[in-house]
Amino acid sequence: MAEIPGFIAVETGDDGELPLAIAWVLPDGRIKHTLIQPDEDWLDEEMNALNGYSLEELTSLGVSPLDVIRELESDHFNATLFTAGIYDDEAALSRLFDTYGIDPFVELAPADSLYPDLPSGEWTRARGELFGELGLEPLRPEHEVEVMLHLHQRLALDQP
């Protein structure tokens, strides 16, 4: 099978920039996923921006933003990663990198750009159907990445 693209997804809070969880695919097809411990500077009095997670859950089960950056660097340094929700994912990743004054070392691109021969909107339609087929939830990063990976495998089989 052809090389697996680097798919990534970030779950954000209600403000669209608060990174709560992240997932990406590794070159061998495995998926890394973790909750993210919120930096103190990210939190304000509005705790409802945590998308159903408790602060205790994120703090005890999540990893530090710096550790997320280190893992991402180890797996995808200077890579283009593909996402279903480029603007929210870019904003969330910017917040991670900006917290430490680090220049981003990954570039994001829309996942549907991998399939230039597909009619407009076909990738999005197929993605939505696949969520239902697999019984997965949109917006959960590990599910987003899994669906993009499965969809890529299907579409790669259809390529000449």
Residue 17: its pLDDT value, please? 79
As a whole number of angstroms, the distance between CA 46 and CA 67 comes to 25
pLDDT of residue 45: 52
pLDDT grade for 41, boundaries at 50, 70 and 90: confident
What's the distance, Cα to Cα, between the start and end of the chain in Å?
A: 13
If residue 9 lies in a helix (H) or strand (E), which one and from where to where? strand 6-12
Residue-level pLDDT at 78: 96
Among 31-35, 50-54, 73-77, 119-123, the minimum mean pLDDT is found in 50-54
Gap between the Cα atoms of 53 and 63, Å rounded = 14
